[in-house]
Chains A and B, each alone.
Chain A
Amino acid sequence: MKTITHNRIAPDPAAPSNSSEPSSKSSRLRRFAASPAGRAFAALLLVMIVGVIFNADGAFFKIGTHRDALRQASVYGILACGLTLVIISGGIDLAVGSMLALVAVACAKMAIQYGWSAWLVVPICLILGASCGGVAGFVTARLQVQPFIATLAMMVFARGLAKYASGGMKVSTAVRNPDGTYRYVNVPPLFHFVDNRILGDNVSVVTIIFLLCILVAWLFTAKHRWGRYLYAIGGNEEASRLSGVPVVGAKMFAYVLSGAFAAVAGICQAAQEQQGDPEAGAGYELIGIAMVVIGGTSLMGGRGGIGLTLLGVLTIGYLDKILSINAVPEAGRLMMTGVIIVIAVLTQRRSR
């Protein structure tokens, strides 16, 4: 193919104005505003401004409102941590809601009915979640079933397993005796610990757990080799494979972590409800995905990050809270959330 020599002096036309000359504050701000993080931040800011305007007679300015907003968003947020990893790798995990329910049931059974120690219950729950995620990951990464299908299958399977393990009933502190009567056992200390508030009653423990999950997911995505592998696979799987990236292993790793995060969410859910509900978590996967996407992580894979997910979680969490303190009924809240998701994704779309 005949080519023409570039003018050597001219700057590369494909590398336009973002040259790294020391830039003024305003241009740095403009660049931030155009970045995915800036846009996600703008969305959150907008929601907060709405909260300030429609403050429900000052309710929005009460610390309790914020504590509750964060607490209510935390379980979804924990799921979103795992989903972020999977979505960065170019996959999707529909099974997190069901895995949450399965773990919630298992956790309630072990902690309430068997009275096992938290030191035993929590690791078993994590292993349970990680194994479910690992199976889905194996099916999609090794057997090359589309992630949508593989995790859809796990979603149905885990729900079934949760119902089987619980006998279709909520596993609560009312334990059925062999003679058909019920006796009540104490709420286990694990549940009390998780469903607690600290720092002068101002922060829920589940929120702390959520932030720890964010930290763990951040360490992997931003600081660890396997996180880099996930970005590479999501960006171009074939090029990654030919560059020696262990594609199957890295993908499975993402699903295993997603399952483990779902397990953490399941423990939190069980603790907050003080029971293990086999119907819990239905539809949570979609809210989790919405949080990831609103943050600006691309469903195509390869772009995004856990910090963006944090912003997405806060955006949806606060939106829901602001609507609820203004007594918008659930029907309206859901419709509003749907509209917001579309608007957020439209503003996130890269102008290319």
Chain B
Amino acid sequence: MSGITKRFGSALVLNNVQFDVRSGEVHVLAGENGAGKSTLVKILAGVHTDFEGQIKINGREARPRTTLEASALGIAVIHQELSLIGPMSVADNIFLDRMPTRAGFVQDKLQAEQAVACIRQLGLDIDVREPVERFPIAVQQLIEIAKALSQNAKVIIMDEPTSALNAPEAERLFALIRSLKERGCGIVYISHKMEEIERIADRITVLRDGEWIGTTPASELPVTRLIEWMVGRKIEEFATRNAPPLGAERLRLENFCVFPGGRNPVVQNVSLSVRAGEILGLGGLQGSGASELFVGLFGGYGRATRGATYLDGKQVRFTAPREAIEAGVAFLTNDRKATGLVLSLSITANVALAALPALSPGGWLRPSREHAAAVNATAPMRLRAASLDMEVNALSGGNQQKVAIAKWLQIEPKVLLLDEPTRGIDIAAKREIYQMINEWTARGVAVLLITSEMPELLALSDRIMVMHRGCLTAEFSRANATPEAVLSAAMGSSAVPPSGNQASSRKSPIL
């Protein structure tokens, strides 16, 4: 792949990126969240078709327009979230797009035989008639690899394949990767875990902010240099922090655990404290549990939390978001479309939603009050909208984010949980949001901030705590936080708990 450029709207997510895979090698694609790794993979897999640049496969130019075309070209992707169909059998899944038929009828027996042959190659011995969902994630992943092999895949892309595996399962996967290499497959491997990269990489390509930083044999790129490549950019000066004098302690968590759906804990024994006017940054990579900590604290998982929460010194326990809101906690979720806004409602209605009981005394709506509230909240934000009565759906991402923020200002929060407040919005809007965050802390609001953008985290946070696999692994003051130190703590390379700790980092159902 060469000269790959891809835009989403006005946002440039890949700029003239080059990438190549040789047969029989593991080529690690590294970079921070949002560096453009997934986008590159999706272009290769035929998901994104509107890009600039060239793809050559075995020297011949190709341009996969659909995932089907990509797999015909020998490209297979093993996604983070597996793309198998749970209730269908193993055999049906493997041959989903090309089942053996006679006169249109599926030949189950033949298909089963072929499926067995297929999975035996991977040293797997399971009943191919069983539904896929009955098997553990690790086996499902192997089934997906078997499917890829049965399609004669030449290039297998693995996107964080070990994120849901325990240590022995990961070992098996690495063994399999070695044997795939011997067969001449090229593996593109995306991972956030340093020790994995060190172990299996033959070559490494680093992307940063959609730019190609470099490609080099793994032996020539020690971990420290790799991290430098990944984060090595100057902190953009627009993210400024005017720290106000700190007030009293606002929020304290003691041994906070979250286990959504009664499953394995995704947050374990987190203890932290935030003071009025302070911004506590929570660093961590995907699956760190930081978002789940917010949801759990906010009551979004109901009673599936343990530990003590103190708000302004008083012990509280939120089992529903309503309770948290009434106590003065606001939570800006990391996905405004899925969990932040009601896109079909007007700007005014969205802004009023969290504070509706106060804005509609006696139960009857007061349009004038809602309108006034929306005007007040959005006026300092330079919201670009034709009218406050238009559906939020029609706004751009940055403006939608401002609406989501305006909603939480209505409840006059004491504690603000910000999960990726600037995700996917343009620089001008980002700058405005940074300024707003500064203003809130000046008014005594305590802010907990999750951001996957390292410069943002470093520039805004008064203090940084880093999470890895559900546990706090490090704490930095503003003075001694460096990108390298934060990133290596987030990757668990100096992890305190041993890797036997199996905090499941699968996507929880809520976010």
Interface residues of A in 1-38 (CB under 8 A from B): 1-6, 8, 11-16, 18-20
A224 contacts partner chain B, Cβ-Cβ < 8 Å: yes
B195 contacts partner chain A, Cβ-Cβ < 8 Å: no
B354 CB contacts on chain A under 8 angstroms: 243-244
A234 CB contacts on chain B under 8 angstroms: 344
B442 contacts partner chain A, Cβ-Cβ < 8 Å: no
CA distance A297 to B428 in the complex (A): 38
Q: Is the CB of B426 within 8 A of A4?
A: yes
A245 CB contacts on chain B under 8 angstroms: 322, 353, 356
A236 contacts partner chain B, Cβ-Cβ < 8 Å: yes
Using CB atoms, name the residue of chain B closest to A229. Answer: B356
B339 contacts partner chain A, Cβ-Cβ < 8 Å: yes
Given that A14-B396, A224-B363 are known contacts, is A244 also in contact with B390, CB under 8 Å in the complex? Answer: no
Q: Is the CB of A228 within 8 A of B356?
A: yes
A232 contacts partner chain B, Cβ-Cβ < 8 Å: yes
Given that A14-B394, A225-B360, A239-B340 are known contacts, is A232 also in contact with B321, CB under 8 Å in the complex? Answer: no
B300 contacts partner chain A, Cβ-Cβ < 8 Å: yes
Using CB atoms, name the residue of chain A closest to B8. Answer: A1
Q: Is the CB of B364 within 8 A of A231?
A: no
How many of B's residues come within 8 Å of A, CB to CB? 54
CA distance A313 to B324 in the complex (A): 43
Given that A2-B13, A14-B395 are known contacts, is A231 also in contact with B387, CB under 8 Å in the complex? Answer: no
Binary per-residue interface labels of chain B (320-332) against chain A in the complex, 1 for a CB within 8 Å, 0 otherwise: 0110111000010
Q: Is the CB of A244 within 8 A of B325?
A: yes
A339 contacts partner chain B, Cβ-Cβ < 8 Å: no
Interface residues of B in 315-348 (CB under 8 A from A): 321-322, 324-326, 331, 333, 338-345
CA distance A229 to B353 in the complex (A): 8
B73 contacts partner chain A, Cβ-Cβ < 8 Å: no
A238 contacts partner chain B, Cβ-Cβ < 8 Å: yes
Q: Is the CB of B300 within 8 A of A241?
A: yes
A19 CB contacts on chain B under 8 angstroms: 386-387
A199 contacts partner chain B, Cβ-Cβ < 8 Å: no
CA distance A19 to B384 in the complex (A): 11
Q: Is the CB of A18 within 8 A of B390?
A: yes
B427 contacts partner chain A, Cβ-Cβ < 8 Å: yes
Q: Is the CB of A224 within 8 A of B353?
A: no
A160 contacts partner chain B, Cβ-Cβ < 8 Å: no
Other-chain contact of B357, A11, A225, A303 (Cβ < 8 Å): A225
Q: Is the CB of B365 within 8 A of A228?
A: yes
CA distance A1 to B386 in the complex (A): 27
Q: Is the CB of B11 within 8 A of A4?
A: yes
Interface residues of B in 375-401 (CB under 8 A from A): 384-387, 390, 394-396, 399
Q: Is the CB of B342 within 8 A of A232?
A: yes
CA distance A223 to B365 in the complex (A): 5
Tell me, rounded to whole Å, the shortest Cβ–Cβ distance linking B430 to chain A: 8
A240 contacts partner chain B, Cβ-Cβ < 8 Å: yes
A198 contacts partner chain B, Cβ-Cβ < 8 Å: no
Q: Is the CB of A240 within 8 A of B353?
A: yes
B194 contacts partner chain A, Cβ-Cβ < 8 Å: no
Tell me, rounded to whole Å, the shortest Cβ–Cβ distance linking A87 to chain B: 13
Other-chain contact of B342, A5, A14, A235 (Cβ < 8 Å): A235
B428 CB contacts on chain A under 8 angstroms: 5-6, 8
A226 contacts partner chain B, Cβ-Cβ < 8 Å: yes
Other-chain contact of B343, A8, A235, A246 (Cβ < 8 Å): A235
A242 contacts partner chain B, Cβ-Cβ < 8 Å: yes
CA distance A303 to B345 in the complex (A): 8
Q: Is the CB of A235 within 8 A of B331?
A: no
Q: Is the CB of B10 within 8 A of A6?
A: yes
Using CB atoms, name the residue of chain A closest to B430. Answer: A3
Most chain B beta-carbon contacts within 10 A, residue among A5, A16, A229, A234: A5
Interface residues of A in 172-214 (CB under 8 A from B): none
B10 CB contacts on chain A under 8 angstroms: 3-4, 6
B365 CB contacts on chain A under 8 angstroms: 222-225, 227-228
A302 contacts partner chain B, Cβ-Cβ < 8 Å: yes
Other-chain contact of A236, B322, B341, B356, B390 (Cβ < 8 Å): B341
B298 contacts partner chain A, Cβ-Cβ < 8 Å: yes
Q: Is the CB of A239 within 8 A of B385?
A: no
Using CB atoms, name the residue of chain B closest to A237. Answer: B342
B34 contacts partner chain A, Cβ-Cβ < 8 Å: yes
CA distance A24 to B390 in the complex (A): 19
Q: Is the CB of A239 within 8 A of B394?
A: no
Using CB atoms, name the residue of chain B closest to A10. Answer: B384
Using CB atoms, name the residue of chain B closest to A301. Answer: B344
Other-chain contact of B349, A6, A14, A231, A244 (Cβ < 8 Å): A231
B203 contacts partner chain A, Cβ-Cβ < 8 Å: no
Q: Is the CB of A5 within 8 A of B427?
A: yes
Other-chain contact of B321, A11, A13, A231, A243 (Cβ < 8 Å): A243
Given that A223-B365, A244-B325 are known contacts, is A3 also in contact with B331, CB under 8 Å in the complex? Answer: no
B384 CB contacts on chain A under 8 angstroms: 11-12, 15
CA distance A23 to B385 in the complex (A): 17
Q: Is the CB of A231 within 8 A of B298?
A: no
B345 CB contacts on chain A under 8 angstroms: 231-232, 235, 302
CA distance A12 to B347 in the complex (A): 15
B322 CB contacts on chain A under 8 angstroms: 244-246
B15 contacts partner chain A, Cβ-Cβ < 8 Å: yes
Tell me, rounded to whole Å, the shortest Cβ–Cβ distance linking A130 to chain B: 18
CA distance A5 to B394 in the complex (A): 19
Q: Is the CB of B364 within 8 A of A225?
A: yes
B510 contacts partner chain A, Cβ-Cβ < 8 Å: yes
B12 CB contacts on chain A under 8 angstroms: 2-4
Q: List 29 A-B contacts (CB under 8 A).
A: A1-B34, A1-B424, A3-B12, A3-B427, A4-B10, A5-B428, A6-B396, A8-B428, A11-B384, A14-B399, A224-B363, A224-B365, A225-B357, A227-B365, A228-B353, A229-B356, A231-B344, A232-B349, A236-B338, A236-B344, A238-B339, A239-B340, A240-B342, A241-B300, A242-B300, A242-B333, A243-B325, A244-B324, A245-B356
* 6 tightest A-B CB contacts, nearest first: A235-B344, A235-B342, A302-B344, A244-B325, A1-B34, A14-B396
